[in-house]
Structure 1
Amino acid sequence: MPIIVNLDVMLARRKMTLSALAEAVGITLANLSILKSGKAKAVRFSTLAAICQVLECQPGELLEHAPDPADVRNTD
């Protein structure tokens, strides 16, 4: 997947559990686990904003783009 979710890294830096984040943000642990594992198909901006507020970070610290080498497009 070309979008990498670094939620586990930020949780470790903040010494916070996924359960504590779920409670602070107000979303289910199951939905947060799906996001953390990278299996989420989408994330609401309001959810992303709440996570960033609780973790005191920027969206770019949680999400990164890594192009899939198999998806190289010919520009010629």
Structure 2
Amino acid sequence: MPIVMRLDRVMADRKMSSLELAEKVGISPVNISRIKTGRLKGIRFSTLEAMCEALHCKPGDIIDWMDDEEYIAAFGALPEE
């Protein structure tokens, strides 16, 4: 049951760059990249809240869940753990 990060879509919809979001949230652009690609072990609620405030969205707009079949249909294979 993979968690899917949708931050890149929300940022594109808002026409916001990684650098701009990083400045508004108070984290590095590298960490924004890690969040966008899902290459992180966790995210602080304070960071998630700051991203939602900067992007005027809800946490569910950024983070999604798919069952294994949906994920494979969308991405071709399950993520490596």
Q: TM-score range by the shorter chain?
A: 0.7 to 0.9
Partner of 1:66: 66
3-state secondary structure, aligned to 1:12: helix
Q: Alignment identity in percent?
A: 46
For structure 1, the residue ranges without an aligned partner over 5 or more in a row are 70-76
Q: Aligned residue for 1:43?
A: 43
- Residue by residue over 1:11-64, the C-alpha shift from the partner in whole angstroms, topping out at 9 and shown as x without a partner, is 010001011000111001111110101111100000000000000000000000
Where 2:64 maps in the other structure, the secondary structure is strand
TM-score (norm 2): 0.81
Matched, 1:55 2:52: no
Higher Rg of the two aligned structures: 1
Query: Paired residue for 2:30?
Result: 30
Structure 1 vs Structure 2 CA RMSD:
1.5
Q: Give the total of aligned pairs.
A: 70
Displacement of 1:67 after TM fit?
Answer: 2.1
Partner Cα distance (1:22, 1:37) in 2: 15
CA distance in 2, matches of 1:31, 1:12: 17
SS at match of 1:4: strand
Distance 1:15 1:32 in 2: 15
Amino acid at match of 1:52: C
Identify the residue that residue 5 of structure 1 maps to in structure 2: 5
Residue 74 (structure 1) aligns with: none
AA partner of residue 62 (structure 2): L
